[in-house]
Amino acid sequence: MTGPDRRLNAFRPDLADARLKGRVEAARFVAGRAAEVAAPVLDVRSAPGVDAGLDTQLLAGDAVTVFDEAGGFAWVQAARDSYVGYVPASGLRAPGPAATHVVTAPRTFVYARADMKRPATAALSLGSRLAIVGAAETRGTAYALLESGEAVVSSHISPVDHGADDYVAVAETLERTPYLWGGTSAFGIDCSGLVQLCLRMAGRACPRDTDMQAAALGRPLDIGADFAGLERGDLVFWKGHVAIVLDAETIIHASGHAMAVVREGLAEAVDRIARLYGRPVGFRRP
């Protein structure tokens, strides 16, 4: 019998989440403390070191629970998808005011003041969360103000309860984004990260990894050998890969072959991937 998934449950031999007491063995159980992501993009690694594998990423404003901190790394669990891993502690801060807005442009800049001619202090990805405290206008451009006095372009953000009508249209805005294993941002993204981020922008929860999505996201589809019946927004799964259906003949996916988010003919992708990894193993409608 397998135990709790270590990707989604915080436990080690020396320390574990107090909520897991009785389910796992550990020398000590702790409740953890709340924190939020201060960095624009924060890498989540499998071990506390810069050479450890990149498992996923968190975005500015994401909430986490911190269970341990040592050697410059914090062991955390993300609130939005429960993923567990190690992040640079410098990329976290105490929780601030509740987020009011989310970045809805693929990428945007934070400016030192409400003026695009002032220096940019950061670049944020689609999905980043911000607490907006005011508004300003400079030379006809509207800006939203942060508590720090910094500003973002108002047209690049929406209220946090915003939900895109078509998550596939969000994916289309990320075409040509570089492929990054473990990436979840508009600066670099992998196949399951693309699905997760775009569904998130539509207000829908989504597991992080391909196997999780293939097992639990939406409902399975019974698709024939000719793939008849696939609709826009359906998902095609291979072992370790996922693509989003654009139409009956086309997919969009973060492709390790192209090293970017690309459109590709479904039949072409099936034939190409089959030579190395086999044919699709499942289809789901999220």
Q: Is residue 39 part of a domain?
A: yes
Range of the domain at 133: 101-159
In terms of domains, do 33 and 138 share one?
no
In terms of domains, do 80 and 179 share one?
no
Q: Is residue 220 part of a domain?
A: yes
In terms of domains, do 171 and 152 share one?
no
Q: Is residue 5 part of a domain?
A: no
Q: Is residue 3 part of a domain?
A: no
Query: Number of C-alpha atoms within 13 angstroms, CB side, residue 189?
Result: 31
In terms of domains, do 152 and 227 share one?
no
In terms of domains, do 278 and 172 share one?
yes
Q: Is residue 225 part of a domain?
A: yes
Each residue's pLDDT, cut to its tens digit, for the chain (286 residues) gives 478 999 999 999 999 999 999 999 999 999 999 999 999 999 999 999 999 999 999 999 999 999 999 999 999 999 999 999 999 999 999 999 999 999 999 999 999 999 999 999 999 999 999 999 999 999 999 999 999 999 999 999 999 998 999 999 999 999 999 999 999 999 999 999 999 999 999 999 999 999 999 999 999 999 877 888 899 999 999 999 999 999 989 999 999 999 999 999 999 999 999 998 999 999 999 9
Q: What is the CATH number of the domain that holds 274?
A: 3.90.1720.10
In terms of domains, do 176 and 261 share one?
yes
Q: Is residue 135 part of a domain?
A: yes
Q: Where among 159, 190, 208 does a domain terminate?
A: 159
In terms of domains, do 60 and 113 share one?
no
Q: Where among 74, 93, 112 does a domain terminate?
A: 93
Q: List the beta bridge partners of residue 135.
A: 144
- The pTM score is 0.96
Judge contact between 79 and 62, C-beta under 8 A. Answer: yes
In terms of domains, do 66 and 155 share one?
no
In terms of domains, do 143 and 71 share one?
no
Number of separate domains in the chain: 3
Q: What is the CATH number of the domain that holds 150?
A: 2.30.30
In terms of domains, do 211 and 119 share one?
no
Q: Which residue type is seen at 15? A: L
In terms of domains, do 108 and 204 share one?
no
Q: Which residue type is seen at 199? A: L
Q: Is residue 254 part of a domain?
A: yes
In terms of domains, do 68 and 110 share one?
no
Q: Is residue 83 part of a domain?
A: yes
Q: Where among 138, 159, 180 does a domain terminate?
A: 159
